[in-house]
């Protein structure tokens, strides 16, 4: 699922694997104390804005990867683009 989503969204698979590993240790059943769901730890509001079911593993990984790509584009003009995108992914874009 991770490799497929990375390829679909033009991201390095290693980057997406690193996010999944850090966020959930590849556990789709993971739910954080703040309510983030699944392998990519999508917040319910983020999942809703991406129009996916965060409890569905394939939708979760695809949407999380799509969201990560959006953040990388958002921060593309910064020298620390990846660092900013990953921080925004984890803590929110604010």
Q: Just list the catalytic residues.
A: 23
7-28 burial code (b ≥16 CB/10 A, e <16): eebebeeebbeebbeebbeeeb
For 64, what's the count of Cα atoms within 13 Å in the CB-facing half-sphere?
A: 37
Q: How far is CA 10 from CA 7, 24, 55, in A?
A: 5, 22, 24
């Amino acid at each position: 699922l991770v490799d497929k989503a990375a390829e679909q969204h033009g991201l390095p698979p290693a980057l997406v694997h690193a996010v999944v590993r850090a966020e959930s240790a590849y556990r789709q059943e993971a739910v954080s104390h703040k309510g983030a769901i699944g392998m990519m730890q999508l917040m319910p509001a983020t999942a809703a804005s991406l129009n996916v079911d965060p409890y569905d593993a394939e939708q979760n990984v695809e949407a999380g990867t799509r969201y990560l790509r959006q953040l990388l584009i958002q921060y593309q003009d910064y020298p620390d683009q990846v660092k900013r995108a990953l921080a925004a992914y984890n803590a929110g874009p604010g």
